[in-house]
Every structure is written in structure tokens, then in C-alpha cells.
């Protein structure tokens, strides 16, 4: 996580020094440039850019069990693997239960947060949002642009034909 306390402190000290400076002698664009550059440098300084994620595949973990081919090494490896998987499942279940019951990560109580619940549920989705290939006028539409054009033309034709049939009746 970011160092938000120091970020706030640095922003406050910059604001104080900026307000005391001769800002009226500069143009609005110069003042904006100074403020945005300083804010960006403080963000770069106090907020991490890359969040490290754990690897799901750690080949060196089972190297000893694989190389030695001894049953006791395999059983020790399997026991540790199963314990880790069990802890991950327990942690996940606790997280979900806390979202449902309204317990914050720090342990304090709060009301049920529908936002957090929906955010979690949406993260579980795995369906693709890609529009499948379309056939329009005996041609296959593969690009997003050609798909959009084909759908637009089709809906326009449907609206026009429904308007014509409504006016003729």
C-alpha cells in the first residue's frame, strides 16, 4: 500500500509553500504546471506502481521430493501443500463471511457493504465480454469496428422496417 500519511504531509507542506510564493507573478498555466508536476512527483514517491503477486507455480518447492523420489519427501511435500491450500481456503471463507456480515478487515464492525459484495461477486466472473464473429452480407466481421458497423446497420434496417410497417397499417 501507499504511504498516504507522508503523502498528505508533503502535499500540505507544498500547499503552504506554494500559497506563500509569488504565484500572482506567474501565469495560470505556469501555476498549474508547478502544481501538477509536484503532485505527480509526490504520487511517484509515495504510491507504489507495481503490485507484486505471488506465483501459483513454484517449481523449486517440490524439487527435493521429485529428485529424491523418497516416499517420506513426497508425503512431507503433500502435507505442506495440503496445509497451505487449507489455509488459503479458510482465509478466503473468512474474507467472504466478513463481506457478508459487514466486518471490516481491521476487525471493526460496519454495516453490510453492497459495493464490496458486488465487487467481489463481479471478480468471480470468468465469461468473456468479446463480441463473437458476426456474418453480415455474407462477410465475416472480425474487427470491433466492422462488428459495430454491422450491428448499427442491422438495427437501423429493423427500425426503418418497423416504422414503415407501422405507417402502412
Predicted confidence (pLDDT) per residue in 7-50, tens digit: 888 988 988 888 888 777 888 888 888 888 888 888 888 887 66
| Helix-helix angle 28-46:4-20, to 10 degrees | 160
Classify burial at 99, counting beta carbons within 10 Å of its beta carbon; exposed 0-12, middle 13-18, buried 19 or more: buried
Specify which residues 103 forms β-bridges with.
109
Q: Which residue has the higher pLDDT, 4 or 163?
A: 4
The secondary element (H helix, E strand) that includes residue 140 is strand 139-141
| Helix-helix angle 71-101:114-123, to 10 degrees | 140
Rg (CA), the chain: 29
**How much is the pLDDT for 86?**
92
Classify burial at 151, counting beta carbons within 10 Å of its beta carbon; exposed 0-12, middle 13-18, buried 19 or more: middle
Model pTM score: 0.36
The secondary element (H helix, E strand) that includes residue 97 is helix 71-101
Amino acid at each position: 500500500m501507499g504511504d498516504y500519511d507522508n503523502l498528505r504531509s508533503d502535499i500540505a507542506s507544498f500547499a503552504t509553500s506554494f500559497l506563500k510564493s509569488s504565484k500572482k507573478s506567474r501565469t495560470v498555466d505556469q501555476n498549474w504546471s508547478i502544481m501538477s508536476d509536484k503532485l505527480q512527483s509526490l504520487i511517484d514517491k509515495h504510491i507504489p506502481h507495481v503490485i507484486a503477486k505471488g506465483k501459483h507455480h513454484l517449481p523449486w518447492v517440490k524439487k527435493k521430493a521429485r529428485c529424491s523420489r523418497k516416499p517420506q519427501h513426497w508425503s512431507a511435500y503433500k502435507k505442506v501443500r495440503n496445509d497451505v491450500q487449507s489455509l488459503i481456503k479458510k482465509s478466503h471463507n473468512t474474507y467472504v463471511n466478513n463481506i457478508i456480515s459487514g466486518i471490516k478487515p481491521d476487525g471493526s464492525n460496519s454495516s453490510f457493504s453492497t459495493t464490496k459484495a458486488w465487487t467481489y461477486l463481479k471478480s468471480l466472473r470468468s465469461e468473456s465480454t468479446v463480441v463473437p464473429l458476426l456474418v453480415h452480407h455474407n462477410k465475416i466481421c472480425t474487427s470491433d469496428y466492422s462488428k459495430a458497423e454491422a450491428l448499427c446497420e442491422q438495427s437501423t434496417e429493423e427500425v426503418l422496417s418497423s416504422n414503415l410497417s407501422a405507417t402502412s397499417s
